Amino acid sequence: MAHPLLPVNSDGFVLSSQVRSVGRLSTLEEQRRCDELLRLRRGVYVDRERYEGAGPLRRYRDRAIAVALQRRSPVFAGFTAAVLHGLPSVGRLPGEIFLLAGGPSGRRRNGVVEIARTGAERLVEIDDWAAVDVVDAVIDVAKRMPLLTALVMADAALHAPRFGEKPPRCTSDDLRAAYQARMPFPASSAVRAVIERAVPDADTPIETLSRLRFEELGVPAPLRQFAVPLPRLGRVVHLDFAWPELGVWGEADGAEKYGSGPEAARVVRAEKLREDEIRAETGWRCARWSWRDAWDRAPLRDILSRAGVRRNHSIAPVRPPSAR
């Protein structure tokens, strides 16, 4: 932890300018030598233990804030704005931080990409920082990032909880309107590929990944969030994916393991009871896969094939267009 005599700002950073103002530069240097503080940008430090113990998105956010602390009136944009909006990401995170440029010309320098300003951007405030709104962020991510990365973020932005706990961050109409307002523009085909595939009912990133894999593998498109009443349990369950005409349903397990201990055992028993009841009610076969199965493609293909969901020979498998 940072020395109690060092000033720490509201985001948890130690700034050399503030340290200098209270006459504690020697304390700062001592903590740097002891590896207690980590330098993220010139003049911006963070507690090393906190930073290294955080997840990838939290560390990315810390780096973004460190960049912003060096600038006057920064506006987060693109992937960085999407992260600040709380959208999930999959795969390798970009090494760069994205900001909105002050004018119509963009540039790339010292790990920062400044995206050219068009004048159509809508700005919002996130934790006292300025950022483009979620629609602008998703559109730019779709222009610059791989299709899967962009689709996971778009699905999350559109997500409408089943029981209406909170409204979606944006709608499909919002994305389409923003797309049309920008036409023509570079990489518009990549953005269109995301908008055409994004849905409001993907509860988790593994469902997004799975849909993309179905398309790549050329298997029939399933129904999503298929409702099945279970009278004996007194409730209705929603299946991740269902192929009623094939008598198959699919369950995408986001976690590789259930953990250990009594609570994990209870979850496993409940899941087994749920699956048995669905099978008894529908007579369908269950295909269940993990994140790794879907990520590696071939295991998912084999799992689906064993359950009776095979490549549809009437159409060729679709290779998602490049997002670059």
Q: What single-letter DSSP state applies at residue 12?
A: S
> Quick one: which of 145, 149, 119, 143 has its CA closest to 132?
119
Tell whether the model's pLDDT for residue 98 goes beyond 90.
yes
Of 20 and 321, which is predicted with more confidence? 20
Q: Report whether pLDDT(149) > 80.
A: yes
Predicted pLDDT at 227: 96
Specify the 3-state DSSP secondary structure of 251: strand
Task: Report d(CA 194, CA 115) in Å as an integer.
Answer: 20
In this model, does residue 316 exceed pLDDT 60? no
**Which tokens in the block code for residue 10?**
């509201």
Over residues 14-39, the pLDDT tens digits come to 999 999 999 999 999 999 999 999 99
pLDDT at 168 over 60: yes
Can you tell me the mean pLDDT for 5-22? 92
Surface-to-core class of residue 298, CB atoms within 10 Å of its CB (0-12 exposed, 13-18 middle, 19+ buried): exposed
Q: What is the DSSP letter of 117?
A: P
Query: In Å, what is the CA distance from 86 to each residue of 61, 98, 139?
Result: 10, 15, 16
Task: With beta carbons less than 8 A apart as the criterion, state whether 113 and 79 touch.
Answer: no
Question: 156-177 burial, b for 16+ CB within 10 Å, e for fewer?
Answer: bbbbeeeeeeeeebbebebbee
Task: Name the residue type at position 277.
Answer: E
- On whether the CB atoms of residues 261 and 300 are closer than 8 A, the answer is no
Q: Name the residue among 80, 65, 214, 96 with its Cα closest to residue 138.
A: 80
What is the Cα–Cα distance from 312 to 309, expressed in whole angstroms? 9
Q: How confident is the model at residue 243 (pLDDT cuts 50, 70, 90)?
A: very high
* Phi, psi values for residue 163, rounded to 5°: -105, 15
Q: Across the beta sheet with 44-47, what order do the strands follow?
A: 13-15, 44-47, 37-41
Give the chain's largest Cα–Cα span.
74
The per-residue pLDDT for range 250-293, each reduced to its tens digit, is: 999 865 444 556 666 677 788 888 999 999 999 999 999 999 99
| Percent of the chain as helix, strand, coil, to the nearest 5 | 40, 20, 40
- Measured in degrees and rounded to the nearest 5, phi and psi for residue 240 equal -55, -50
Tokens standing for residue 6: 């060092």
User: What does the pLDDT average to over 39-45?
Assistant: 96
Report pLDDT for 271.
83
Burial of 271 (0-12, 13-18, 19+ CB in 10 A): middle
| pLDDT average, residue stretch 84-100 | 96
Q: What is the pLDDT of residue 261?
A: 60
Q: Looking at residues 171-182, what average pLDDT do you find? A: 96
pLDDT for position 119 = 86
Spatial contact of 148 and 90, defined as CB atoms under 8 Å apart: yes
Q: What is the mean pLDDT of residues 192-203?
A: 97
pTM above 0.75, yes or no: yes
Cα separation, 142 vs 185, in Å, equals 12
pLDDT score for 318: 42
Q: What would the two tokens of residue 286 be? A: 């269950």
Q: What is the pLDDT of residue 2?
A: 61
